[in-house]
Amino acid sequence: MPETETSIHPRKLEITHAAVTCFLEHGYHQTGVRDIAKQAGISLGNLYNHFKGKDAVLAFIAELEGEELSGFIELLANPDEPRAALEQFIDQYAAYTARPENALLGVEILTEALRNPDIAKVFGANRSRLIDALVSCLNKGTKTGIFVPYDDPRAVACVVLDALEGVGLRGLSTSKPSEHAIRSIRSLIINGLEA
């Protein structure tokens, strides 16, 4: 069972926040454990008391991401009203992915996952859980006649996530996605799914 943020040793959290800062400023690949320790204001030995290395820090970040995604997963897993749950998810997940630190870190993680299968596996498990929950919502909506059936609901769920994450990434080069942009993407997704 993963540690909750309140039960995590404060130094471990400091190291994690320092690592995220380094990854965002310099990139994951260009950041070393010495950089993380320096950013955290601790000795290298102290860092190693909490993490075996940079990959272990990133794996812990994946664990924390999994906890953050749990709220979205609960919302989608077995909703009483699939359409309302999906609309709420679209709004909240669009806001989550539009946070600059989430969008930038997502790019860094994706880039490193292409090089490192272990990183791909850890973060892929989080994404897979989110996709499974979204598929559950879509299937329940299909069974109740709210959504049209699709041959591959998992592919539809992936397209929904890709669209929302794309809005967040686009916000890096412009400004935070407008409420109009989020409403437009919500309308596009819901209209494409409604029976």
Point out the least confidently predicted range of 48-57, 144-153, 161-170, 185-194.
161-170
pLDDT tens column, 3-38: 445 577 788 999 999 999 999 899 888 999 999 999
Q: Which CATH superfamily is domain 10-193 in?
A: Tetracycline Repressor, domain 2 (1.10.357.10)
Instruction: Give CA–CA dist 9/22, Å, rounded.
Output: 20
Instruction: Give CA–CA dist 109/111, Å, rounded.
Output: 5
Cβ burial, residue 69 (10 Å; 0-12/13-18/19+):
middle
Domain positions in the chain: 10-193
Given this model, what pLDDT does residue 175 score? Answer: 62
Interacting residues of 9 by C-beta distance below 8 A, sequence separation 6+? 50
- Number of other CB atoms surrounding residue 109 within 10 Å: 22
Judge contact between 88 and 7, C-beta under 8 A: no
Instruction: Give CA–CA dist 116/109, Å, rounded.
Output: 10
pLDDT tens column, 139-177: 999 999 999 999 999 999 999 999 999 887 876 666 666
pLDDT of 1 over the 50 cut:
no
Instruction: Give CA–CA dist 62/57, Å, rounded.
Output: 9
Given this model, what pLDDT does residue 6 score? Answer: 54
* C-alpha closest to that of 169 among 116, 91, 94: 94
State the pLDDT confidence band at 105, using cuts at 50, 70 and 90: confident
Instruction: Give CA–CA dist 73/159, Å, rounded.
Output: 17
pTM of the model: 0.84
